[in-house]
Amino acid sequence: MSTELFFVQLINGLQYGLLLFLIASGLTLVFGVMGILNLAHGSMYMVGAYLVWYFVAVTGSFTVSAILSAVIALGLGILIERVLIQRLYNRNHLDQVLLTIGMIFVFNSLQSILWGNDPYGVAVPEALSGSVPFTDNSSYPVYRIFAALICIAIAAALYFMVSKTRLGMLIRAGESNREMVEALGVNIKSLYTIVFAIGVMLAAISGIIAAPMRSIVPGMGESVLITCFVVVVIGGMGSIKGAFVGALLVGVISTFAAVLMPTMSNMVIYLFMILVLLVKPQGLFAK
């Protein structure tokens, strides 16, 4: 592998890892704070991608479509938590798995009814459609750089919210001892609604960002969900920092594996997960 190809693939891997972090952070936030194992989290990624495709077709503006899609995803998260997820807090993980698997089938059916089963694509916004010279013989798409910067900005905002704000203090307290937080007068139900809605919106934003770079196809949420569970397991369940490090590692490893050993690329991240669990059974940053 040439030095030029190495750096291009490294940047691709980091950009992919940052996108994985947005999805995995919502998954680990919901599990860490609420104890909810949401197997339908990947469906929110699919919802974000389909919504932005639909609104771009209607409005012609990617920016307006992205904002509308994120707001709808936030509202959808509030609705799901209020109507369905609240009923699971005092029940075991098997009930959570059964309900959220059912939600996957519901969202896949709704996607098929509303938008059909044809693959779709979203054009890269004209302002971001160029490329930046990387070397004398290669360049890198501006949109991919933009996507990476957006992911970094959201990751920084998430860190600031969790670490420096009153809401973040309540989230961390609820994760550590939810009974004590409730006894101190905090409306734990509203806190859980906010956390779940944020998790859903993060997954949808990931789908929005990925839409111009990937095909929008039925069932696209299931494959990314499996990868995100690998990220969460490697980083440690409930750890935002672990999700960030795990996502970058998985992104870089899977990208290089696709180039160096394409026939085994799907297996490599699982082998890496097994290796991590042999050394750190609770994940790299388990709490």
Cα distances from 286 to residues 73, 225, 229, in angstroms, run 29, 20, 14
* Residues 25, 232: Cα–Cα separation, whole Å: 8
- The amino acid occupying position 130 is G
Question: Which architecture, in CATH terms, is 3-124+142-279?
Answer: Orthogonal Bundle (1.10)
Whether residue 1 has pLDDT greater than 70: no
Report the SS3 class of residue 286: coil
Specify the pLDDT at position 91.
Answer: 79
Domain ranges of the chain: 3-124+142-279
- For the beta carbon of residue 138, count every other beta carbon within 10 angstroms: 12
Specify the pLDDT at position 27.
Answer: 87
Query: Please, what is the average pLDDT of the chain?
Result: 87
Whether residue 169 has pLDDT greater than 70: yes
The predicted model scores a pTM of 0.89
Helix axes 265-279, 220-235, angle to 10 degrees: 30
Tell me the per-residue pLDDT of 203-261, one tens digit each, with 9 for 90 and over: 999 999 999 988 899 988 888 888 988 998 998 887 888 889 999 999 999 999 988 88
Which percentage of the chain shows pLDDT scores above 70? 99
Tell me the per-residue pLDDT of 109-161, one tens digit each, with 9 for 90 and over: 999 999 988 999 899 988 888 888 877 777 888 999 999 999 999 989 888 88
Whether residue 96 has pLDDT greater than 90: no
